[in-house]
Amino acid sequence: MKYFIDTANLDQIKEAYDLGILDGVTTNPSLMAKEGIKGEEAVYNHYKTICEIVENGDVSAEVTAVDFKGIVEQGKKLAAIHKNIVVKVPMIPEGVKAIKWFTDNGIRTNCTLIFSAGQAMIAAKAGAAYVSPFIGRIDDSGWDGIELIQQIANIFAIQGIKTEILAASIRNSLHIIKCAESGANVCTCPLDSILGLTKHPLTDIGLAKFMEDAKKFE
């Protein structure tokens, strides 16, 4: 499974990249707004900087248009920023049409706001490189986000679909483990959830004891 970070914050992206385990970045309009970035030029420069930090990793940049023409226009501009930009398109009929257009024109897409297997199937059929089921938001609404990952992974395996399942809206480290168990190809996570994977109280206790004993033979 690949590890993406779900943020537009450059310090957090650098921290995850420096860990040596980062495969890519996903952003969305809410995450960009959180960084206080305003205006087309600033947004494009920000995406370029992110691409340079992660070198060979894919970077999802989301369109804000909701009509076919607008999505295609924005997507073309975003894709021109850097070879690793993946155009993130919402799961709506106009978005599906645009994903098909991007597929036919050699531009990779990530279909976002996926909450059902049917949505994932249609995005894959249109040629999306990634589909992004929102695990945490499904859990928040009283359903089981991990079950959706399992269902999509099962369908894609049976049907031989190559679209990658990019589990999004991750709330904690356990989500990441469950996504790996469930057949997600990628998990995009907040930095804290990634760092949480490195932690265990018995590791801390064990290390303290090793450090104490190490003093005995220094």
Query: Using CB under 6 A as the criterion, which residues of the chain lie in contact with ligand G3P when the complex forms?
Result: 6, 26, 28, 134, 136-137, 168-169, 188
Give the distance, in angstroms, between the CA of residue 34 and the centroid of all CA atoms in the same chain.
17
**Smaller CB distance to ligand G3P: residue 10 or 157?**
10
Q: Which of 140, 143, 124 is nearest to 132 (CA)?
A: 124
CB of 110 to ligand G3P, least distance (A): 9
**Smaller CB distance to ligand G3P: residue 89 or 215?**
89
CB of 201 to ligand G3P, least distance (A): 26
Residue 88 annotated to the active site: yes
CB of 182 to ligand G3P, least distance (A): 16
| Cβ–Cβ under 8 Å, residues 122 and 100 | no
Handedness of CA 44, 50, 56, 61 (dihedral sign): negative
Catalytic residue among 38, 77, 83, 88: 88
Pairing of strands 85-90, 130-133: unpaired
Kindly report the number of other CB atoms within 10 A of residue 21's CB atom.
Answer: 13
**Smaller CB distance to ligand G3P: residue 6 or 153?**
6
CB of 6 to ligand G3P, least distance (A): 5
**Smaller CB distance to ligand G3P: residue 70 or 136?**
136
> CA 212, CA 189: separation in Å to the nearest integer?
35
- Active-site positions read 88
